[in-house]
């Protein structure tokens, strides 16, 4: 039974709940090969992933000194979406301890939701493949609303869609964008250090950093008490 006094917990997806870089970078490499460019290693994910597919493609081409015009970028973006949907979970997987942490939070009565800059269709395809869609009261991809992270409304509308109170929630993410989104919404944020960020996540000042998902319920409890 849900407890109204408990904050809604809103998760980012890529780099927070799931390691998705192999499939995302793999799709980028198909695009690069199509344009006669060499593949980039998955180790580049921290520099490239995290701001959506268009930004990923732009960043990938910048590595080769090939800036893209708007029309070319849009064409490659549409190609990316098609290819990625067919390889959404070839190598992607949940991080260790995710299921157990979700179980603990749900058992305590927290509403759980996802707010991601991954397109809605791909978010649901991935969650279905990982068999966790049913665990979330709402899933809000980049295009579910008219705004997206770091706009606070992407987060607050996600919370409302989950049946929660936008003034009483906690964001869990892995990047500068997640921290900025939470700050814009006036909400606390917990971060994991193993996701997709180009600088150490601790340097960006989240309210808590958890090294593993087994630490998340305790961090949520501390922040809940503090707020």
Q: How far apart are CA 216 and CA 213, in angstroms?
A: 5
CA atoms of 117 and 3, how far apart (whole Å): 28
- Residue count of the chain, please give it: 227
Q: Which token pair is 95?
A: 């991080």
Least Cα distance to 215 among 184, 160, 172 occurs for: 172
> Rounded distance, CA 74 to CA 133, Å?
29
Task: Report CA-CA distances (Å) from 54 to 14, 35, 37, 78, 93.
Answer: 15, 16, 17, 9, 23
Closest listed residue to residue 135, CA positions, set 172, 154, 110 = 110
Torsion angle, CA of 114/118/120/124, rounded to 10 degrees? -70
Tell me which residues are annotated as active site: 12
Q: For the chain, how big is the Rg over CA atoms in Å?
A: 17
Residues 6+ apart with CB under 8 A from 100: 213, 214
Give the span between the Cα atoms of 72 and 192, in whole angstroms.
35
């Amino acid at each position: 039974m849900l407890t109204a006094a408990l904050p809604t917990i809103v998760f980012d997806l890529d780099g927070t709940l799931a390691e998705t870089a192999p499939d995302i970078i793999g799709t980028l490499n198909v695009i690069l090969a199509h344009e006669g460019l060499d593949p980039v290693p998955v180790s580049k994910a921290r520099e490239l992933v995290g701001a959506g597919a268009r930004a990923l493609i732009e960043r990938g081409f910048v590595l080769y000194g090939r800036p893209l015009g708007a029309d070319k970028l849009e064409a490659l973006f549409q190609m990316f979406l098609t290819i990625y949907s067919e390889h959404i979970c070839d190598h992607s997987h949940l991080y260790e301890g995710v299921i157990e942490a979700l179980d603990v939070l749900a058992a305590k009565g927290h509403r759980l939701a996802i707010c991601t800059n991954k397109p809605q269709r791909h978010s649901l395809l991935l969650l279905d493949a990982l068999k966790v869609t049913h665990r979330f009261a709402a899933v809000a991809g980049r295009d579910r609303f008219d705004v997206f992270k770091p706009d606070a409304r992407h987060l607050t509308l996600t919370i409302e869609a989950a049946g929660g109170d936008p003034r009483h929630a906690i964001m869990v993410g892995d990047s500068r964008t997640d921290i900025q989104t939470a700050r814009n919404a006036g909400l606390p944020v917990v971060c994991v250090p193993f996701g997709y960020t180009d600088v150490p996540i601790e340097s960006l000042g989240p309210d808590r950093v958890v090294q593993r998902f087994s630490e998340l319920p305790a961090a949520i409890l501390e922040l809940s008490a503090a707020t």
